[in-house]
Amino acid sequence: MALGEEATKAGALLDTAGPAPSASGARLNLAAGELATVDGPFAESKEVISYAIYEVGSKEEAVEWASRFLRVHRDLWPEWEGEVEVLKLFGPEDSRPRPDHRGGGDPGDHR
């Protein structure tokens, strides 16, 4: 925790969120002018070109924004093809205390 606080105060650490497993996401693909949506899980990408973080109320709302993004690209550049992955970021509501697998004591104590 101390390193995270120090990095935040120094302005180096901007965010500690990360994507949830792809099973809760969706992949959108634009090819030959057709838009297709597939629910996760899917094989993880090895490369992320760019990303955008939206605060939305549901996966469906996120998919709608992603669809709009792809439609704009299709309309402006008819030959353009691309793919969007919709992933949830882990937040405080996703955190649970880890159980102590040794039957007692402090989970951080490795004596």
pLDDT in tens, 51-106: 777 878 889 988 988 888 888 889 888 988 888 888 888 777 777 766 655 555 44
Q: Residues 17-45: pLDDT tens digits?
A: 667 778 888 989 989 999 999 998 877 66
Query: What is the value of pTM for the model shown?
Result: 0.53
3-state helix, strand and coil shares in percent for the chain, rounded to the nearest 5: 30, 15, 55
| pLDDT value at residue 64 | 87
Query: Which region, left, alpha or beta, applies to residue 105 given φ > 0 means left and ψ of -120 to 50 means alpha?
Result: left
CA–CA gap between residue 111 and residue 97 (Å, rounded): 20
Cβ within 8 Å of residue 26, ≥6 positions away: 37, 38, 39, 40, 59, 62, 63, 66, 85, 86
* Residue 70: DSSP 8-state: H
